[in-house]
Amino acid sequence: MDSLLFLCARRVVAKRPLPALPADLYHVLFQAAFLDGRPLVLRDLVATWPFPVLNLQRLVGHRELLRDHPSQDCVESVIQAVVAQLRRELEEPGCDFSLRVLDMTGLSDSVAGRTTTGLSVWCSTKALAKACVEVSKHQREFQRRRSKRRKGPSRAAVATATPQSPGVDVHAHLFVDRRSYRILRDALQTGATSSLHLKCREFKAVDISASEIVTLLESLDPSCLRRVELCFNNLGLTGLSVILPHLSRFPELRSLKVRYSNVDVRHLMPKSAMRIRSVARQLGMLPSLRELNLGSSQLSGNLRQILCELQAPLESLELAFCSLVPADLTFLSQSFHAPALKKLDLSGHDFSQGLLEPLRLLLEETSSSLLHLDLMECYMADSHLEALLPTLLHCSRLRFLGLYGNALSTAAIKDLLQKTLELPDLHLVVYPVPEDCYKPDQQESGWDFVVDKELLAATTVEISQILENSGRTDIVWTYNPCVHGVLDYFSL
């Protein structure tokens, strides 16, 4: 239920122009204007913002109602208000604005990603890039106008006489693909001259070349970047070895994700063996690295070679569909990473074969730290889960368990439920549709199996009843991995 103050704020922002406002009301008025989709009011508020920092996540990210409201126009209006502020500061030296930092980090997760009309990371990146180019262009035009008016002084004197705005730093997560590459490249390359400074906290590149990724990385502020994610870029081992040297200039880089990028080190030739050693050395030159995701890379038997140069233990390691062999898991269980791991993703490996015992030994080593364990689509049947269950119960801090896509029965799932009730921090379990909840269905091409909705509904009710009777309604059990967003337990 909204507070009386918030209800009053919604009445105030319903009309323009706004009255004169005390500084302590700006935050609640901003929340109300954002919630009600009033971009013009937001521009007015930003134009007179009385504080040095405007953090969108703190102001609006926690409000659950925002899930059902469009946000793109609102966020773009905030960006344009900052652009207008910088133009006025340039042209009217007497103007004195307080706002110096616009923090947009985390906005997409809390606001945009919830609704089809919300602001995506791609949209916010493009809007910010256009704003940077616009500000830089206006500064150049302003400089030319001043130069024409001052024909006497030298160019250096004119430049010295030109008023310099302290500018505004924009902290953001940037997403780039082929559609947004050029505008983001231009925006970043104007960074040295523009009074709108992009400070990238998380950088994600999809489907662009290694050279294009390097061009962007070279233009990022080295003091800010903490996460890099490279997806579907077809880098291969060669492209990865091109990019990694450029990451060493980011001392705060804590997370590197290289997924679906065609990295294959299974059959090493002399030249590729040299490259894998080079990749290992370059990873070792990232002193703050704590999270590594090599999803869908082909690493069979080479995990040791990849990780051997790291100087500090990883806290998050995602190796889904990486074709690991027992030796890889054995190495990991004996490494200094194991007792530090908070998040481990081994989805897509066949634990019905020789990997089950190495997995059990690995989980024993990670049991005191592990918060998140993903074993989706791992060919596990009831007998495999039964063998693994005692070790799982030693993971006393476990919060998330993913078992979706394994061939488990209702009885095995209920047994897992009953026994994991003793894990005090367990919050979310994604279990598979039980094998006995399928029924045969004859198709034109033969027999297939479809979900028996009545049996599945009965199982769901039974699971809910067990949770309720045990007093553990704080745990979410679901067979749909897309319904509940998995929390990021790797804290940056």
The mean pLDDT values, 10 residues at a time, for the chain of 492 residues are 87 93 95 93 96 92 52 90 94 87 75 40 89 93 83 52 75 94 94 88 95 97 95 92 96 96 79 85 96 94 95 96 96 98 97 95 98 96 97 97 96 97 96 93 66 95 97 94 65 49
- How far apart, in whole angstroms, are the C-alpha atoms of residue 111 and residue 203? 19
Q: CA torsion, points 434, 367, 355, 274, in degrees to nearest 10?
A: 130
What is the Cα–Cα distance from 477 to 61, expressed in whole angstroms? 26
Q: What pLDDT, on the 0 to 100 scale, is given for residue 112?
A: 36
Domain extents in the chain: 4-101
Q: Which residues does 177 contact at the CB level (< 8 Å), separation at least 6?
A: 122, 205, 206, 207, 208
CA-to-CA dists, residue 159 to 165, 220, 345, 451, angstroms? 13, 26, 55, 72
Question: What's residue 264's pLDDT?
Answer: 86
**Residue 149: predicted pLDDT:** 76
CA distance 267 to 273: 9
Residue of 385, 378, 379, 343 whose CA lies nearest to 254: 343
pLDDT at residue number 445: 60
Could you tell me where the beta strands, DSSP code E, fall in 195-254? Answer: 196-206, 227-231
Per-residue model confidence (pLDDT) at position 114: 39
- Provide the pLDDT for residue 268: 64
Q: What is the pLDDT of residue 303?
A: 95
- pTM of structure: 0.91
The rounded distance, in Å, linking the Cα atoms of 322 and 64 is 37
Q: Which residue reads 């013009």 in tokens? A: 40
Q: Report the pLDDT value the prediction gives residue 11, as an integer from 0 to 100.
A: 94
| pLDDT at residue 200 in the model | 96
Q: Which two tokens stand for residue 23?
A: 């500084």
Q: What are the Cα distances from residue 207, in Å, to 259, 320, 341?
A: 11, 20, 30
Quote the tokens at residue 24: 């302590």
User: Which pLDDT does position 113 carry in this prediction?
Assistant: 37
What is the residue type of 169? D
pLDDT of residue 371: 96
Alpha-carbon distances of 400 from 265, 295, 432, 437, rounded to whole Å: 30, 19, 14, 24
Cα separation of 30 and 44, whole Å? 10
Distances (CA, A) of 14 to 63, 77, 321, 433: 19, 16, 52, 48
Instruction: Return the pLDDT at 487.
Output: 61
Q: Are 35 and 13 in contact (CB under 8 A)?
A: no
Query: What pLDDT is recorded for position 159?
Result: 46
